[in-house]
């Protein structure tokens, strides 16, 4: 960090060192000015009106970084793209989650997001494959379909008002995954595609 001193414990020092090493490995020295750590000054033109985006703040009239990452500019917007971040689902994404709770007419799934996803009983195919109204008997038999720790594949259907995720599994390609391995893949941003890959990956055999 330049121009500021922060007291870090041993774990934080190791993480900071690894973040700097990763930045250096991803970007050449000629392009290294594009990478920043916390409290680094982001060079901007005072003549232009700059919009401060995610990972930036203003201090003493300068734009500084509040995250470790790479400075990105889109027109007048300046933001910091982190090397690691939580997965941000979008509608239509096919995701894999682990059941953490069987609640009333719904299952809650851990998908490595800030909130658990919800799969409603009405948003999935029943074992008999018949399209019909869900009954009280179906609700009592929910644990026969999915129970805690089951790994389930589904599709992001919508977002709730509180930011939660609604899933649907109304196709034969969705549902419980068995006889395979669930691999957790560290999240990393791709410089070529400008996208972030989720840290929940699957390899099924």
User: Does one domain contain both 35 and 58?
Assistant: yes
pLDDT of residue 195: 36
pLDDT(78) > 60: yes
Structure tokens at 196: 């972030």
User: Does one domain contain both 63 and 31?
Assistant: yes
User: Does one domain contain both 47 and 110?
Assistant: no
Structure tokens at 32: 């290294």
The dihedral of CA 188, 163, 151, 153: what is its sign? negative
pLDDT of residue 188: 54
Let me know: does 116 contact 109? Beta carbons within 8 Å.
yes
Q: Give the residue-averaged pLDDT of 37-66.
A: 81
How confident is the model over 137-175, as pLDDT tens digits? 888 888 888 899 999 999 999 888 777 889 998 888 888
* Domain endpoint, select from 22, 48, 82: 82
Residue 89 pLDDT level (bands cut at 50, 70, 90): confident
Q: Give the residue-averaged pLDDT of 175-191.
A: 69
pLDDT of residue 34: 74
* Domain membership of residue 191 as a residue range: 94-203
The distance between the two most distant Cα atoms of the chain, rounded to a whole number of Å, is: 68
User: Does one domain contain both 169 and 197?
Assistant: yes
d(CA 200, CA 184): 5
């Amino acid at each position: 960090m330049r121009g500021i001193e922060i007291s870090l414990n041993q774990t934080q020092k190791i993480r900071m060192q690894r973040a700097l090493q990763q930045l250096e490995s991803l970007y050449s020295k000629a392009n290294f000015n594009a990478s920043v750590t916390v409290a680094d000054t982001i060079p901007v033109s005072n003549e232009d009106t700059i919009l401060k985006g995610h990972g930036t703040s203003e201090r003493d009239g300068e734009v500084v970084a509040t995250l470790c990452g790479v400075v990105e500019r889109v027109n007048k917007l300046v933001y910091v793209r982190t090397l690691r971040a939580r997965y941000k689902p979008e509608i239509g994404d096919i995701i894999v989650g682990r059941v953490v709770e069987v609640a009333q007419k719904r299952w809650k799934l851990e998908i490595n997001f800030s909130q658990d996803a919800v799969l409603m009983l009405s948003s999935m195919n029943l074992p008999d494959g018949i399209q019909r109204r869900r009954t009280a008997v179906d609700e009592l038999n929910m644990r026969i379909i999915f129970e805690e720790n089951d790994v389930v594949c589904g599709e992001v259907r919508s977002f709730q008002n509180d930011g939660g995720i609604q899933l649907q599994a109304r196709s034969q390609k969705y549902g419980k995954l068995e006889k395979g391995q669930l691999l957790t893949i560290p999240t990393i941003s791709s410089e070529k595609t400008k996208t972030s890959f989720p840290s929940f990956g699957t390899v099924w055999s």
